[in-house]
Amino acid sequence: MTTNETSDKPLEDILSRAREAADGEQIDLVDLVKAFGDRAFGPVMILCSLFLMTPIGMIPGLPAAFGLIVIVFALQLLFRKAHPWMPKVLRKVKISDTSLEKTQEKVSPFLRKIDSVIRPRLPWVTSGPMQAFTALLAIILAMTLLPLGVVPFGVVAPAFIIGLLGLGITARDGVLIIIGFSLSVGVAFGVTNLIMSGF
């Protein structure tokens, strides 16, 4: 599948392409992003989400790193940048093929079910001003990953919503983005309570 083709199973293909990019070894985040080409915005958000919802997301420092990636890409989506860019400092973050394989094994059955029901819907939600709002929401959610990273499994909820938004962008499914908007309200209340309680 080329980078310009639209797959009928976008979630499964994202992990498959990530493993192909690793080529049996470890890969840094910059090269991983390049593997998705010009259509990387949605897939990278999904990939960050998947990692954060598995044991990889428990590794100290990775929630902040993945949050930075989401912010970098969401900002570019917000300003409608045609070609994605990544800061070279993220080359320091390495992901092994073993970690990719474990993630793929854990989530593939779930992803297969999601791929069977998503489809292009409500195109007005996935373009124009709504796309900018989606990008802004992704930035806010990514910023919550830092404080929530100190709480066991605290990043799962915002990561899940980031994944929904990324999937909505990738599959042009406005229904998923609207669901993400709704769920983000709950995360906002949770983060506010966490901050007010002093962690």
Report the pLDDT averaged over residues 157-172: 88
pLDDT of residue 65: 82
**Per-residue pLDDT at 112 exceeds 70:** yes
Element (H, E) at 41: helix 41-52
162: confidence class by pLDDT, cuts 50, 70, 90: very high
Q: How far apart are CA 66 and CA 45, in angstroms?
A: 9
More confident position, 197 or 4: 197
**Per-residue pLDDT at 191 exceeds 90:** no
4: confidence class by pLDDT, cuts 50, 70, 90: very low
39: confidence class by pLDDT, cuts 50, 70, 90: low
Residue showing tokens 């392409």? 17
**Per-residue pLDDT at 127 exceeds 70:** yes
Q: Name beta bridge partners: 27.
A: 95
Provide φ and ψ at 95, rounded to 5°: -125, 125
79 class by beta-carbon count within 10 Å (0-12 exposed, 13-18 middle, 19+ buried)? exposed
